[in-house]
Copies of this chain bind each other. A is one copy, B any other.
Amino acid sequence: MQVSCRQEQDKNMLELMTRLYPICRSITGEGVRQTLRILQEQIPLEIHEVSTGTQVFDWTVPKEWNIKDAWIKNSAGERLVDFRNLNLHVVNYSAPVQERMKLAELKEHLHTLPKYPDWVPYRTSYYKETWGFCLSENQLAQFNPSDDYNVCIDSSLTNGSLTYGEYFIKGKQEEEVLVHCHVCHPSLANDNLSGIAVAVKLAQFLVASPRRYSYRFLFLPGTIGAITWLSRNQQIVPKIRHGVVLTCVGDPGNITYKRSRRGNAEIDRAFIQILKQSGQPHRIIDFSPYGYDERQYCSPGFNLPVGVMMRSRHGEFPEYHTSADNLDFVRPEALDDSFSKLRDVIEVLEGNRNYVNLQPKGEPQLGRRGLYGMVGGENKKDWEMAILWVLNLSDGSSSLLDIAERSDLPFSLIHSAADALAQVELLQEV
């Protein structure tokens, strides 16, 4: 029953990605709007519009980009490169163009991947006005140097707005957990439809029952989106207690967690706890100021405890930022594993508290309270050790996560032991 339900959910993640995949997103424009509207079918997202020209810290909200069609035709009028087949064919945010030119001249606007002759690269040019096409080496081989080519990009760069989505789930406390994903990439599946799908599933999971923390899900265009949001929500920043950027969470690689700038924030320790206790191969990497929007959250003026959850890391898998990052590259079991690890991390954050042992002098007599008999079998020893560790370290200064780390026992077991001890009044939350 539970399994079939979970399988349905997985199907939902991939189904959502399949619907979103064909849309031509960019940092502004209809692509993002259309994407957020589809997400609204799953979660009650608020859609925000910020006008072109708005000053956001050191930046200015750029023009809105929209595109209808684009092609390169040979003199016979055949479309050799066709935006309708794949939106990656146009350099994202390209200025409009309609020209006839020789291949030599055209080539300055063409991008290929010599190492992967079947694949089309993904290129952008947000802050320098230009235009270009991306195509495979194989496509390029069919061009005739002596032929004339008609190129057309039917795009527009106009005053409009930057669009982003935000979904806030109120918890018992004002303190928030931030979940961020970028929504500016066109037909790329792992980067970052996978992050969007996992975020949506997490939001659906969390809304079902009230939580200690409030949760804020942000669906933003990269860089300018995070900067815009931060600029407009500075009063919220102090409430952000933990945060995570989700990207590339659908590929078959092992999970990679990138620490926050703080290096040992609770979110960092929660991820390390879950990944280590999983017994599965994984990678913990240090913060560096290059990557995704952790760069903005971890800038020195904010220094928020925001890490990054990935599977394969951007730039380290060949499919990254190419047409090969398509729906086939993403695995349902990887999405499921990413979701389930993230949920476990959330449970650590939710459950992490400091307690005091109410019988701190010597050990309390556990036998007569029935705490030793609660669990049988192979886990009996771990359970009893968890009980002893929680009692021993609960002097108010150690959190349950501290105790899990020092005892090398899973957080979930330490948490259960604390609950059981609180129930028999041996433990009290600080």
The answer to whether A289 and B58 have CB atoms under 8 Å apart is: no
Q: Which of A20-28, A90-98, A332-340, A391-399 contacts B (4 or more CB under 8 A)?
A: A391-399
The answer to whether B392 and A230 have CB atoms under 8 Å apart is: no
The answer to whether B298 and A392 have CB atoms under 8 Å apart is: yes
Bound Cα distance A57, B360 (Å): 9
Bound Cα distance A288, B361 (Å): 17
Bound Cα distance A389, B299 (Å): 10
The answer to whether B288 and A357 have CB atoms under 8 Å apart is: no
Bound Cα distance A298, B388 (Å): 12
Residues of B within 8 A of A361 (CB): 57, 230-231, 299, 301-302
Bound Cα distance A289, B288 (Å): 39
A377 is an interface residue with CB less than 8 A from chain B:
no
A51 is an interface residue with CB less than 8 A from chain B:
no
Bound Cα distance A394, B368 (Å): 54
Bound Cα distance A128, B368 (Å): 9
A367 is an interface residue with CB less than 8 A from chain B:
yes
The answer to whether A300 and B230 have CB atoms under 8 Å apart is: no
CB contact under 8 A between A363 and B295, given known A127-B368, A289-B389: yes
Interface residues on A, range: 35 or more
In the complex, per-residue mask of A373-397: 1 if CB is within 8 Å of any chain B CB, else 0: 0000000000011001101111100
A258 is an interface residue with CB less than 8 A from chain B:
no
The answer to whether A299 and B261 have CB atoms under 8 Å apart is: no
The answer to whether B362 and A57 have CB atoms under 8 Å apart is: yes
> How far does the Cβ of A405 sit from chain B's closest Cβ, in whole Å?
12
CB contact under 8 A between A363 and B296, given known A289-B389, A357-B301, A389-B289: yes
8 Å CB contact of A388 from B227, B230, B289: B289
> How far does the Cβ of A237 sit from chain B's closest Cβ, in whole Å?
9
Residue of A127, A301, A362, A407 contacting most chain B CB atoms (<10 Å): A362
Bound Cα distance A385, B291 (Å): 11
- Residues 144-187 of A contacting B (Cβ, < 8 Å): none
In the complex, per-residue mask of A340-371: 1 if CB is within 8 Å of any chain B CB, else 0: 00000000000000000101111111011000
The answer to whether B303 and A359 have CB atoms under 8 Å apart is: no
Bound Cα distance A299, B360 (Å): 6
Q: Which residue of B lies closest to A302 (CB)?
A: B361
A205 is an interface residue with CB less than 8 A from chain B:
no
- Residues 43-73 of A contacting B (Cβ, < 8 Å): 56-59
Residues of B within 8 A of A230 (CB): 361-362
Bound Cα distance A302, B359 (Å): 11
Bound Cα distance A295, B362 (Å): 7
Bound Cα distance A58, B231 (Å): 56
8 Å CB contact of A58 from B127, B290, B364, B385: B364
Q: Which residue of B lies closest to A126 (CB)?
A: B367
> How far does the Cβ of A262 sit from chain B's closest Cβ, in whole Å?
12
CB contact under 8 A between A290 and B127, given known A299-B362, A301-B361: no
> How far does the Cβ of A410 sit from chain B's closest Cβ, in whole Å?
16
8 Å CB contact of A289 from B57, B295, B391: B391
5 nearest A-B pairs in the assembled complex, by CB-CB distance: A301-B360, A301-B361, A289-B392, A300-B395, A289-B388
* Chain A interface (Cβ < 8 Å from any Cβ of B): 56-59, 127-128, 223, 226-227, 230-231, 261, 288-290, 295-296, 298-303, 357, 359-365, 367-368, 384-385, 388-389, 391-395, 407
Known: A227-B363, A300-B357. 13 other contacts (CB 8 A): A57-B359, A58-B364, A127-B368, A128-B367, A226-B362, A230-B361, A261-B392, A289-B389, A296-B363, A299-B357, A299-B361, A301-B361, A302-B362
- Offer 25 A-B interface pairs, CB within 8 angstroms, sorted by A: A57-B362, A58-B363, A59-B362, A59-B365, A127-B365, A127-B367, A128-B367, A223-B363, A227-B362, A230-B362, A231-B361, A288-B388, A289-B363, A290-B384, A290-B388, A295-B363, A296-B362, A299-B357, A299-B360, A299-B361, A299-B392, A300-B393, A301-B357, A301-B359, A301-B361
